């Protein structure tokens, strides 16, 4: 990330946003950075997860083997600490059935009918 002066637009500094010490934390070695949020001038919230492949259109079953991680990272690109326990993500797999497109209850929603 490049930071520029708002006065003369000169480059002030460059910050590496790829965590350099993922291998120091359990479960992070195979993760990819999803999002980085600026907390202050020296601290960032980094959201990482394992890779999730594209979900086919006819998918319907939940598979929960993916995980998302939240870490604080300094402007030296080193992860500092986890903000909370890893959160499982769910991947849709398998084929849908007509019963899955029905909804019964007090509210209705747009869904294909069998």
| Per-residue pLDDT tens digits for 62-76 | 555 577 889 999 989
pTM of this structure: 0.59
| Per-residue pLDDT tens digits for 17-40 | 889 999 999 888 888 898 898 888
- The pLDDT of residue 74 is 93
Q: Which residue has the tokens 């979900």?
A: 55
- Residue ranges covered by each domain of the chain: 17-94
- The pLDDT of residue 110 is 46
What is the DSSP-derived secondary structure letter of residue 18? S
Does residue 97 carry a pLDDT above 50? yes
Instruction: Identify which of 99, 77, 69 has the alpha carbon closest to the alpha carbon of residue 16.
Output: 77
């Amino acid at each position: 990330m490049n930071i520029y002066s708002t006065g003369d637009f000169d480059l002030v500094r460059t910050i590496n946003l790829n965590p350099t010490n993922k291998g120091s934390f359990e479960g992070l070695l195979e993760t990819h950075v999803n999002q980085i949020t600026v907390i202050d001038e020296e601290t960032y919230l980094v959201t990482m997860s394992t890779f999730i492949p594209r979900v086919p259109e006819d998918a319907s079953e939940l598979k929960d083997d993916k995980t998302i991680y939240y870490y604080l990272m300094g402007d030296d690109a080193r992860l500092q600490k986890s903000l909370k326990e890893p959160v499982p993500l769910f991947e849709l797999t398998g084929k849908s059935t007509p019963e899955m497109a029905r909804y019964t209850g007090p509210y209705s929603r747009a869904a294909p009918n069998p």
